[in-house]
Structure formats: C-alpha cells, structure tokens
Structure 1
Amino acid sequence: MEPIKIDKWDCSALKNTLDDCCRNILIDKYKYAECHKLMDIRLAICTAAVACAAFALVYDYLYAFPASKLVLITCSSTYFILMGVLTLYTNMVEKGIFLVAKQVDSSGNEPAKKITVSSCLKRFDENYQLCFEYNTGKKGAKTKEKTITKSVANWFDEDGQLLYDSFKHDVVQLHDSIVNKKDL
C-alpha cells in the first residue's frame, strides 16, 4: 500500500483519512458489501434542492422577474426547507456513520450480518472515536456495540504520515472483539 501523508493539523483530513482506511480494511479483509442507502437518501435530498434551484433559474430566464415572482418565492422557500431537512438528516440519522456494510451468506441459509461504523473527531481534539455496531441479522438478536477512543498521534507520525499497520491492528482488534469467529 502506498504511504498516506496529510496535514496533521487539519482535523477534517485526519478524520476522513482514518474513516477511509477503516472502510478499506473492513471491505478488503472481511469481504463486506457496502450498503449505500444512507448516502443515497442524502444525495436524493440534495438533488431535489438543486433541481428546484435550477428550475427557478430557467423559469426566471424564460419569463423575466415580475412574471416569475411567485415561482422564485416558491423555489427559494423549497430550497431553504430542503437544506433544513438535509441538516436534520445528517445530524439525527447519519450521526457520523461512514460505513454500513453487510455480509451475506453465500448459501442463502443465514440472514445477512450487518456492521455499522461511525466515528467522531471533535474540532481541536486529538481523540478519535471509532464505534462499531454489529448485528447477526437473526431474529431477536441484539446489536453489539463497541467503541475505541485513541489519540490520532497513535496512528500518525510527526510528518503526518499514516502508520497504517498500527491503525489496521486496532481496527481488526476492535472488529474481532465484537464479531464472533463463527459469524465470519
């Protein structure tokens, strides 16, 4: 794997790099299939908002301002409402989730196992929190949850290069602590 180097003072870059590496580790090592439903809903909300704004733009171009007044008011209000819905969705539903993945039994006898991975790295904080939720998909099975919180200094050197093996070890250890060997 090619070494990853980032600006270690950029919290967004730190979080995004760790999230992407965690996603890659889980998909490559454990052969999970990523489920894009959360992202698809977010994209649908954004697409509706952009389509509304584009319609207002085209309508105003075809019918100058006094004639397009009602359409502009309606589209602007709708855009504002959709952006509010998007904000609520990302804060209340997604909650930092960056991976929802399933592991389907090839024989089809067992239900799909589902893992949800979320993270949090607060601004001006060095502690990265990684949370795994795992459900076997069996009827009545409870969702297991486990969280690890570590300083990003454990996974990045002084130059901002990711210490991939160290991070991979922690992700695999967290995954294996929540998932039974027989579930794999």
Structure 2
Amino acid sequence: MQEMKAEIATKNSKKANLLDHNSLKHILDESVSEIVTSRGYAEDVRMSNARLFIGTIIIVIALFAQFYKKKFPGNRDFLIANECNHVCLILDSGKYIVFNVILQLVSYTKEKNAIMFTYPPPGSVTSTGLVVSSKLPRFSDLYTLSIVSADPKSISAGRPVEFTKSVTQWFTKDGVLVEGLFWKDVGALIDDYAAVPKKKK
C-alpha cells in the first residue's frame, strides 16, 4: 500500500510531520480549501474580515492604554496596575474585555471548526454557500470533514454530510500527502452534499 501511495505522490507534493498533529491538520485543511474552490465555490471572507476588524480594535485599545500620555494616577481610568507593578492593558470602561469577548463569541458560535465559508457556485440553483469544517483530535489519527449549508434554514440547503477517516490513508510513510487519494475522497463528499435531497418547506 505504501509503495502504491509513493507512486501516486508527485514531486511538488505537500509534506507534513507525521508526529505533529497541527502539521497534519494544516496540510489537510489547506488542501480541502483548494478542492472546494476548484469546484466553483468562491470563498466568503466576510467572517474573517469581521474577526480582523474586531482584532484591530482590540489592538488600538491596547496601544492607546499603553501610550496614554497622562501618568498615574491621572490615567487610572485607563490603566490598572497589578501587584507585580506591570501595566495591564485593560480599559477601565471594559471595552478591551468586551471586544475580546465578542471575538471569542464569534469564533465559538460562528466559526467553530470551520475551515472556510463559501458563496454558492455561479449559475447554481442553490442560494446558499457551504460551511466546511474539520476535526483532528489530539492523539488521534481520525480526521473528520463535514459540509453543511451556510444557511441551514434556506429551502435550498442540503443536508449535512461528513466522513471520518484515518490520515494514514492519505500520507506516505515519509509524510507526503497523496493528493490524488485525498482529492478523490473530498470530491466525493462534495458530490454527496450536492446530491442529497433538498429540504422541503
């Protein structure tokens, strides 16, 4: 089996450290994004942009608190000194904390394990894009890939589909991703999503 995988692998193949969980997941997730976009699904980056915008606000608040011109105690409305005499970059008004909480809520409620969000393919009868998510638990070789509708309440939303397979099916013993095998499995999952009956009103 390993010999057959090695033959299929190309010169420019992606290589992962088989002992590094994050390396494996990163390569697989990156490949999934390529496969989905190759099927005509344009990536919807609005969620990423929203996270970047909130993150920028947090950084600006922290910088303002750090470099506020007044010295203590004149700046006590902006800074709180901790017991180690380090300055905590937390606004007294709670804006820093509030925006951090918002960022975490967006990640927890909207993104979860999402790799990417998409628009529907051009010319498609469906009006919803996809949310493509993955999981690779630590100390496990089982990679779960799922596809759901970006708007589950839509009449054109398909039923969620997923597969769970061992990463050993897609990597050679040297850590090279056999893209042909992986593309086949992911492509089949996308086809399954497109083929399932749509929801009824």
The reply to whether residue 75 of structure 1 matches residue 91 of structure 2 is: yes
Q: Give the Cα–Cα distance (whole angstroms) in 2 for the partners of residues 129 and 138 of structure 1.
A: 24
Aligned to 1:87: 104
Corresponding residue for residue 43 of structure 1: 52
Question: Partners in 2 of 1:81 and 1:93 — Cα distance?
Answer: 17
Query: Helix, strand or coil: the match of 1:75?
Result: coil
2:176 is aligned with 1:161: yes
TM superposition shift of 1:139:
5.9
1:98 corresponding residue in structure 2: 115
Please list the CA deviations of residues 26-55 of structure 1 after superposition, one character each: whole Å capped at 9, or x if unmatched. Answer: 112x12111012212221221111111011
Aligned partner of 2:37: which letter? I
Is contact 2:158–2:194 with CA below 8 Å preserved after alignment? no
Q: Which residue of 2 aligns with 1:12?
A: 22
Mark the runs of 5 or more structure 2 residues left unpaired by the alignment: 1-9, 81-89, 197-201
Q: What is the aligned length?
A: 176
- Residue identity over aligned pairs, in percent, reads 28
Name the CA distance, whole Å, in 1 between partners of 2:154 and 2:37: 25
Structure 2 Cα separation of the partners of residues 120 and 157 of structure 1 = 21
Q: Decide whether the 8 Å contact of 1:105 with 1:111 is kept in 2.
A: no
Once the two structures are overlaid, the 10-residue window that deviates more, 72-81 or 17-26, is: 72-81
Judged with a 3 Å threshold, the aligned counterparts in structure 2 of structure 1 residues 142 and 48 are, in CA distance, closer, same or farther, namely same
Larger mean Cα displacement after TM superposition, 161-170 or 37-46: 37-46
155 and 75 in structure 1: CA distance in 2 versus 1, 3 angstrom threshold: same
Aligned to 2:85: none
Q: SS at the partner of 1:41?
A: helix
* TM-fit CA distance, 1:121: 1.0
Q: CA RMSD in A?
A: 2.6
Say yes or no: does 1:173 pair with 2:188.
Answer: yes
Task: Provide the secondary structure at the position in 1 that maps to 2:77.
Answer: helix
Larger Rg: 2
Q: How does 1:19-30 map to 2 (within 5 A)?
A: 19-28=29-38, 30=39
Match of 1:33 among 27, 42, 58: 42
Normalised TM-score (structure 1): 0.84
Structure with greater strand percent = 1
